[in-house]
Amino acid sequence: MMQRQEEAQEEDLFDRFKEILTINPALIGSLTSIAFIIICWVIRDSLKVKDVCEKHVFITGCDTGFGNLLAQRLYRKGFIVIAACLTEKGSQELKACTSSSLRTVILNVTNPRSIDNAVAYVATETGNKGGLFGLVNNAGRAIPIGPTDWMDIEDFHRVLDVNLIGLIEVTLKFLPLIKKARGRIVNVASVMGRLAFGGGGYCLSKCGVESFSDSLRRDMQYFGVKVSIIEPGFFKTGVTSLEIIEKDLNRLWNRLTPEVKHLYGEKYFEKYLKVQRLSMNTFCDSDISKVTNCMEHALTARYPRTRYGAGWDAKFFWLPLSYAPAILADVMLKLILPRPLGYKRVLSKNQVDV
């Protein structure tokens, strides 16, 4: 009796499966097509360029952080790496981690003469070897960052001159060598270039890097040059050093006029510092290889991606939030950040004036 019931159940399940196949052939076809596309994309994404030992890569901002780790990794893979450092100390420490034969150059991306010297050095190094295969624009800074009305125009210049204007000038001056090699340009932007949630020049600069990279990619496609954008989330580097951020916030606060200080209030400043500590200690990922993995793929893949979201917070929180209605991000940040002490007085005055 039990055996007959089991056989009947099996026949019933088989009949249901046949019914699904009969009723939903379009669904089965769609799922098959999606699976086929995913498999093809994975295979295409895994294809690599050949003969990396003969290829030159120039990386800016190699004193610490992403640039430093990328230079070490590419050097060990056999690339001819030319690492640009801001200081002689950074250059010596990088060589100590790799080899004294690693090529380095001192570069200040805000100094046109320094950029010209770097271009001349790279041109000499590449010689008749096919030009510069890879340019990684990694140099950057974050501070000053804070409420917009705490800033002056020089605060914006300090960030924009490094993160955007310097990046553009370096790219333009290296373009002839890149075009000669039909190479790659990798520009480091940020999730804050897609979703601005802090005052100062950082978000502006990274949004500019996104736009510049998009237009550059479309212009250079005819010359065989590929351009990729790296969009890291929060990572523990010199740029996100809590000590440096707090020191600069204190500088901004101490120079405010008494009127502005009164409008915000001492408690606002204390709470703002607490939010910075919470975000840096909670969100910042210490595994910066998640970023350098993306950079490396952009340089070594036969078909590099246009954009790379680096870090789980970037992939599953910040970048998706950037596609959401602006009001959602506004409400979220309003809940996180403190409110100025004087905002109620301003509201009351406006109501009286009306």
> pTM of the prediction?
0.86
Q: How far apart are the first and last CA of the chain?
A: 86
Domains annotated on the chain, with CATH: 48-238+285-326 (3.40.50.720)
Model confidence at 50, pLDDT cuts 50, 70, 90, reads confident
Q: How far apart are CA 38 and CA 54, in angstroms?
A: 32
Model confidence at 20, pLDDT cuts 50, 70, 90, reads low
Residue tagged active-site, from 75, 202, 264, 308: 202
Predicted local confidence at residue 241, as pLDDT: 83
Predicted local confidence at residue 29, as pLDDT: 75
Residue bearing tokens 């070594």:
300
Predicted local confidence at residue 263, as pLDDT: 92
Predicted local confidence at residue 354, as pLDDT: 44
157 Cβ contact list (under 8 Å, min separation 6): 201
Query: Secondary structure of 286-299 in the HEC alphabet?
Result: CCCHHHHHHHHHHH
- Average pLDDT over every residue of 99-108: 90
Predicted local confidence at residue 352, as pLDDT: 44
Q: How far apart are CA 307 and CA 187, in angstroms?
A: 10
pLDDT at 116 over 50: yes
CA 179 from centroid of its chain's CA atoms? 24
Could you report the per-residue pLDDT of 237-246, keeping only the tens digit for each? 888 888 899 9
Could you report the per-residue pLDDT of 171-190, keeping only the tens digit for each? 999 999 999 999 999 999 99
Which residue in 57, 220, 41 sits closest to 126, CA to CA? 57
CA 342 from centroid of its chain's CA atoms? 36
Question: Which residues does residue 187 pair with via DSSP β-bridges, in sequence order?
Answer: 137, 229
Could you report the per-residue pLDDT of 128-163, keeping only the tens digit for each? 778 999 999 999 999 999 999 999 999 999 999 999
Which residue in 185, 201, 215, 83 sits closest to 142, CA to CA? 201
Could you report the per-residue pLDDT of 202-229, keeping only the tens digit for each? 999 999 999 999 999 999 999 999 999 9
10 Å CB burial of residue 289 (0-12, 13-18, 19+) is middle
Mean residue pLDDT across the chain: 88
pLDDT at 5 over 90: no
pLDDT at 347 over 90: no
Query: What is the bridge-based pairing of β-strands 56-59 and 80-85?
Result: parallel
Predicted local confidence at residue 216, as pLDDT: 98
pLDDT at 251 over 80: yes
Model confidence at 33, pLDDT cuts 50, 70, 90, reads confident
Could you report the per-residue pLDDT of 324-340, keeping only the tens digit for each? 899 998 898 888 888 88
Q: DSSP code of 79?
A: -
pLDDT at 344 over 70: no
Could you report the per-residue pLDDT of 279-315, keeping only the tens digit for each? 888 888 889 999 999 999 999 999 999 999 999 999 9
Predicted local confidence at residue 307, as pLDDT: 96
Is residue 233 within 8 Å of 310, Cβ to Cβ?
yes
Q: Is 202 a catalytic residue?
A: yes
Predicted local confidence at residue 151, as pLDDT: 94
Torsion of CA 166, 167, 171, 172, to 10 degrees: -40
